[in-house]
Structure formats: C-alpha cells, structure tokens
Amino acid sequence: MTIGSTSAAKRDGAAQYDAVIIGAGFSGMYQLHLLRDRLGLNARVIERGDGVGGTWYWNRYPGARCDSESHSYSYYFSDELLKEWEWSERYPQQPEIVRYLNFVADKLDLKRDIQFDTTVTGAVYDEKANLWRVSTDDGETVSAKYLITAVGCLSSANVPDIPGRDTFKGKWYHTGQWPHEGVDFTGKRVGQIGTGSTGIQAVPVIAETAKHLTVFQRTANYSIPAQNHPLSAEFKAWAKENIDEIRQTMRASTNGHPFLINERKVFDVSAEERRKIYEKAWEVGGLRFRASFNDLLLDKAANDTAADFLKSKIGEIVKDPVTAKNLAAIDHPFATKRPPIDTGYFEAYNRDNVSLVNLRDTPIVEITENGVKTTDGEYELDIIVFATGFDAMTGSLLKLGIVGRDGVTLNKAWEAGPRTYLGIQAAGFPNMFTITGPGSPSVLCNMPVAIEQHVEWVADCIETMEKDGIDRIEPTEEAVTGWVDHVNEVANATLLPQAGHSWYLGANVPGKPRVFMPYAGGMARFRGICDEVAEKGYEGFVLSRDNADSQAEAVNA
C-alpha cells in the first residue's frame, strides 16, 4: 500500500471516513475533490494501481489513444485547469492522458487522500451502524457512511478461456493489462485476437516492428480514420477562448461531444449529395462521421447507406481482394457496436508482414504450445495479443464483493442483469453510488461529460443529506423497475440492440445476462431527468433518518 505519491504509511491510522471512493481515474479524482474540498468531508480513495489514471493507467497497449477529441476529453468544471493544460494532438495518446490526470491530481492536491496499490476485496453494508465496511487486500478494513464506486466501465479485462491457453510457450498479453515496461515485437511472430476499437488501434503499430502479424478477426468492424494531427497554436487558443461555448455544446449534445448531430435525415438529400456528405465526413474523420445525419441509428435503410459507404472504403484501401472481402464482411448496422476510429488500420493489411484470418470461416480450435490452431491449421507465434475487450460496465463492480442490506450480494441482486435507478444506485444498497453505472449514458457518451454529471449529482445529493441530517438514501424497487424498463425502451427505439454480439449487451462474455446496459436516451435528456429527480426531493428514492430507537423513518415519502 502506498498513500499519495511518496508515503508508504497508513493515513492517520483513521479507519472511519465519511466516504470511501473506489478508483482513482477521472471519476474518483473528481469525486474526491468535490467531497473533500467543497463539502469538507473526510474521504479516502482506494486504488488498485500505483498511480492515478484508472482505465488509462492499465490500457498502455501500442497505439492506445482516446476516441474523444482532446479539447473535450478534459474536466470542464474548472476554467483554470482548462487554461493551464495544453493537449498536443487532436486525439490524446494514453501517456498524455495519464500526464493530464497527474497534472490535475497534483494541482488539486488529491494524492494525499488516495491509497494506491490497494485492491478492495469486500464492501459490506452494516445496517445497524449504517456504515459500509470496506476491506482491502492489505488486511485493512475501513468504514464509511458513503460508498462510491468509480471503477470505470471498461476496466475488467476479458481474457477468453480458449482451450490450451496456458500451454502456450510464448508470451501472451491482454491489452487492458499491458506491462508497464512495454513489449518488444521486433522480429517476433505476433498473433492478435480481436478487432474492436483496441485491436484496430494496435494493428498498425505492432505491424511496424513485428516480423509478422496475424490478425484473428471474429467480427468484422467498421472503422473511420481519426485524421489525427498535432493541434495548431490557433486551435489551442480558440479552445481556451471558447470554454463556455464548448461546454454548452457538449452538454446539449446527445453523446457529450463538442459537436451536434446534424438535424437532416439520410433520405432528405439525394444519393449524390449524401455521397458528398459522407466523403467530407470521412475526410474530417473520427466520431463526427456518425453525426452526419440524425437517423443513422433509428432507421435501418438510412444506416445501410453509411454502412455501404464505409464498406466501399475498405475495398478502395485494401489491395488483396480476399482480405478486403473478409474485412468488409460486417454483419451489424453501423455504430450499433462502438464505432472504432483508426490511424492506418486498413492500410496495414497492404503490408507484406500482416495477414488476416477470418474466424467466422475457420474458428479457433485451441491454443497450442506453438500458437493458435484454427480449423484451417496452426499459426506458429511468439506472442499472442488478446485485444478481446472487457467484462464491460458490470465486471468491475461485481468483483468488489459488495454485500448490501440483509446480506444480499450485488451479484445476486444483478443475477439477471444490472438493475439501477439512473445508473447511480441499486435498491438494497443504501448510500452506495455507482458513478457511470449501468443504466446511465456512460460509454455512449464522451466519458468525462458523463462522469462530471454523475459526480456532481452525487456531491449535491450528499450535501443535501448532510445539511438535512439524512442518514441514508436508496431507490425504491418501483423506481428501479421503471428505470430498467425505460432504459430498455429507449434502446429498443434505436438500432443499437441489433448488434447481437456487442458488449453493450454483455454478449462478449460467456454466461453474462444479455441486457442492454448503457442509457441510449442521450446525455442531455439524462441530465434533465436527474436534475428533475433531485428538484422533486429525490423522487424515486427513499431518504431516511434514524429516530431515537435507531429505526429508519422515511423523510420524503
């Protein structure tokens, strides 16, 4: 265990806090700042890594870069922070994001209240004392009235249990648990399994040094060029001069990005005009492509026009016709899985040292001591890279060993899929808040925007509770059921559930319940709902106060 950047000592020997926050990424850091520096509470962050960064602390794989534009991938609660920090590229690379988060942590003096190198092993609600007892792998147990999980949506690595995996004599790595010292691919035969956002970023970079890279593709994927570039002095100045405007756009937009989705519909324009619009969007690059029309995720025929355009681009770029055909054999509507953006992904297949294996035609049978064996034969490898994604949204929460009222575990409560109200609380788990939890926009949004909204809502809620002497808050079962229904309803109004193999649905992890987890109703709408709930005295939640006999009495029923 280390606390802060230098100390290895226990913090004050104090075992009781107002709040324990799990995770020191974007969410946990901001939550600590608000609870400690705005509300004056005694808060401790517990973090598994030995530094801040959360998801970005772990995802150090080659080519790791954010898909949100850097000037929007920042905390917007402080103009001072925005003015002082300078991003170098349109899309920030992993090391720059970690540097940014360290800059914020140092500026706000957060590290002194972060306990690094410590894994939470259990969090049990003690009903009598109305405290969460949080135990860690160093044998310590601390208590807190409030438990806030800030564990990220994509932080629990999904390493597929392919038969024979552990017999492999070479080295294997998962992109989300990448060694800090890096991996040298020089002269090596590398196999990469997975072609999601991560795999698509990693391929061109690994190809630069590997002797040969074999990419094992199960589901073909769309990808749009990031058109990444260094930021000009003019742009940097513009971003600093227009903070309010950028903030306002991000808050008004469906996905929390600094651009709005165009109002026009696909069939409002001629085929020729549409082609021009797509060409222009391709040149601009990145997630802005998705904003070309407002019905891309609502109307399959409209979506097909974008899908066809993107597939035709693969054919134009990739020279080998069989490889091009396999890469373009995409079976889901555009953007119903997280749309990757890339730097030279399809182009990498024109290199002599890169080849593609279509696992739909020739599935993996096993991993042998020499490499990967498909139904077509064995591929001898020195290194296997698993770019196989995450047990997303719920994986990290369910690993915490959370036990709520009456000894009910979170795993039991969410057996058939996650059940929250506003993605922030689960019934039966009083005073536990899940930042960007399932049922909130989270991964469908530019994450810092979703995080700031949830963190601020929680801070306001706790402030109200402390001011009014409220002992606990938890949602009613009815509110949770209503919210789960609403989350399903808004997802079903879109094409999103049509990608049957998406991690949004939990479909990438064998045995995981198939439930559409993020809130697809848009960030702006979600913010409005959360604000209204608070304004109405936390409608859907029960706020209670203990009476003289320590019996809980609802105060807002």
Residues at the site binding ligand NA7, with contacts judged by CB under 6 A: 154, 160, 193-199, 218-219, 338, 359, 364, 387-390, 443, 501, 503, 508
Of all residues in this chain, which one has the CB nearest to ligand NA7 in the complex?
196
Compare residues 47 and 67 and give the one whose CB is closer to ligand NA7. 67
Residue 366: beta bridge partners?
373
Compare residues 475 and 518 and give the one whose CB is closer to ligand NA7. 518
- Give the C-alpha separation, 109 to 131, whole Å: 27
- Closest contact distance (angstroms) between CB of 184 and ligand NA7 is 22
Compare residues 124 and 359 and give the one whose CB is closer to ligand NA7. 359
Q: Which three-class secondary structure state does DSSP give residue 511?
A: coil
- Closest contact distance (angstroms) between CB of 19 and ligand NA7 is 28
- Closest contact distance (angstroms) between CB of 441 and ligand NA7 is 13
Nearest in space to 451 (alpha carbons), one of 24, 3, 5: 24
Q: Count CB atoms within 10 A of the CB of residue 291.
A: 19
The pair of structure tokens assigned to 502 is 């998406």
Compare residues 110 and 356 and give the one whose CB is closer to ligand NA7. 356
- Closest contact distance (angstroms) between CB of 417 and ligand NA7 is 18
> Do 84 and 236 meet the contact criterion of CB atoms below 8 Å apart?
no
Compare residues 33 and 218 and give the one whose CB is closer to ligand NA7. 218
Q: Count CB atoms within 10 A of the CB of residue 84.
A: 12
The pair of structure tokens assigned to 108 is 């706000």
- Give the C-alpha separation, 163 to 363, whole Å: 13
Compare residues 399 and 545 and give the one whose CB is closer to ligand NA7. 399
Compare residues 90 and 218 and give the one whose CB is closer to ligand NA7. 218
Residue 129 region, left (φ>0) first, then alpha (ψ -120 to 50), else beta? alpha
- Closest contact distance (angstroms) between CB of 354 and ligand NA7 is 16
- Closest contact distance (angstroms) between CB of 375 and ligand NA7 is 13
> Do 64 and 35 meet the contact criterion of CB atoms below 8 Å apart?
no
Nearest in space to 147 (alpha carbons), one of 392, 435, 438, 376: 435
- Closest contact distance (angstroms) between CB of 247 and ligand NA7 is 22
- Give the C-alpha separation, 117 to 50, whole Å: 5
Compare residues 98 and 413 and give the one whose CB is closer to ligand NA7. 98
Q: What one-character DSSP code corresponds to residue 253?
A: S
- Closest contact distance (angstroms) between CB of 298 and ligand NA7 is 21
- Give the C-alpha separation, 68 to 256, whole Å: 10
- Give the C-alpha separation, 223 to 188, whole Å: 27
